[in-house]
Structure 1
Amino acid sequence: MSVPSFSRWRSRWPASRASAGRNANGLLPSEWRAIPCLPVTCATPTPCGFPEPDGRTCRGEVAQARFVRRNSCSMRPSDSTRDRPTQETPLFQTCTWLNEPSNWEITNGVLAMTSDKGSDFWRDTHYGFTRDSGHFFGSRREGDFSASLCIEGDYTDLYDQAGIMVRVDETTWIKAGIELSDGEACLGSVLTVGQSDWATAIHHGPASRLHLRVTVAIGVLRLQWSQDGLRWPLLRLCPFPQASSYLVGPMCCSPERGGLKVRFSEFQIGAPVGKALHDLT
Structure 2
Amino acid sequence: MTSLLHLTERALWDAALASGTYEMSTRGRTLQEEGFIHTSLRRQVVAVAGFLYGDGTCPDDLVLLTIDSDRLTAPLRYEPPAPGADDFPHIYGPVPVDAVVKVQPWNGGYLLDWDDALPLNPPLAAERDGDSLLVTTRDKTDFWRTTSYGFVHDDGHALLTDLPAGSAVEVTFDTGSFAELYDQAGVMVRVDESGWIKSGIEITDSAPHLGAVVTRDDRSDWSMAPVPDWSGRRVTVRASRSGDAVTVRARCEDGPWRMVRLAPLDPDATASAGPFCCSPQREGLQVRFTRFAVGPADTELHGDPAPIGPFGPFSPGPR
TM-score normalised by length of structure 1? 0.74
Deviation at 1:260, TM superposition (A): 0.4
Residues 78-93 of structure 1 aligned to structure 2 (within 5 Å): 81-82=107-108, 86-87=109-110, 90-93=112-115
The residue number in structure 2 matching 1:20 is none
Hey, what does 2:295 align to over in structure 1? 270
1:168 equivalent in structure 2: 191
> Within 5 A, what are the aligned runs for 1:124-163?
124-153=146-175, 154-163=177-186
Call closer, same or farther: CA 1:142–1:221 in 2, change over 3 Å: closer
Summarize deviations over 1:54-106 as a string: whole Å, max 9, x none: 845699x845799797xxxx8675xxx44xxx11x634222111110121123
Distance 1:239 1:182, change over 3 A: same
- The Cα of 1:265 is off from its aligned counterpart by 2.2
- Aligned twin of 1:122: 144
d(CA) in 1 for partners of 2:96 and 2:226? 48
Residue 36 of structure 1 aligns with which residue?
Answer: 27
Q: 1:146 Cα deviation (Å)? A: 0.8
SS of residue paired to 2:228 = coil
Residue identity opposite 2:199 in structure 1: A
In structure 1, the partner of 2:275 is 250
Q: Is the 8 A contact 2:164 2:241 kept in 1?
A: no
Q: 1:217 — aligned with what?
A: 242
Per-residue deviation, 1:221 = 1.2
Give the whole-Å Cα distance in 1 for the aligned partners of 2:202 and 2:230: 13
Using the TM superposition, give the Cα deviation of residue 134 of structure 1 relative to its aligned residue in structure 2, in angstroms: 0.5
| Count, aligned residues | 244
TM-score for both structures, normalised by structure 2: 0.66
Deviations 1:148-170 (A, max 9, x none): 01011311111100111000000
Q: Which residue of 1 aligns with 2:223?
A: 199
**Are the aligned partners of 1:151 and 1:211 in contact in 2 as well (CA < 8 Å)?**
yes
Q: Is the 8 A contact 1:188 1:198 kept in 2?
A: yes
The answer for unaligned runs of 5 or more in structure 1 is 8-22
Superposed CA deviations along residues 34-65 of structure 1, whole A, max 9, x for unmatched, are 4439964269xxx964324x845699x84579
Asked if structure 2 preserves the Cα contact closer than 8 Å seen for 1:103 and 1:114, the reply is yes
Tell me how far 1:242 sits from its aligned partner: 2.7
Cα distance in 2 for partners of 1:58, 1:252 equals: 39
- CA distance, structure 1, for counterparts of residue 117 and residue 96 of structure 2: 25
| 2:148 partner SS | coil
- Whole-angstrom distance in 1 between the partners of 2:203 and 2:105: 41
**In the alignment, what sits opposite 1:177?**
200
Q: Describe the shift of the 1:91–1:76 C-alpha distance in structure 2 as closer, same or farther (beyond 3 A).
A: closer
Q: Distance in 2 between matches of 1:184 and 1:133?
A: 24
1-side partners of 2:204 and 2:147: how far apart?
17
The alpha-carbon deviation at position 279 of structure 1 amounts to 3.6
Give deviations 1:201-246, integer Å, cap 9, x for gaps. Answer: 1113223320111111111111101112463121111222333421
| Equivalence for 1:13 | none
Q: 1:177 corresponds to which letter in structure 2?
A: G
Contact 2:235 2:250 in 1 (8 A): yes
What residue is the counterpart of 1:96 in the other structure?
A: 118
Larger helix proportion, structure 1 or 2?
Answer: 2
Q: Which residue of 2 aligns with 1:14?
A: none
Q: CA RMSD in A?
A: 3.5
Equivalent pair of 1:42/1:48 in contact (CA under 8 Å): no
State the partner residue of 2:71.
51
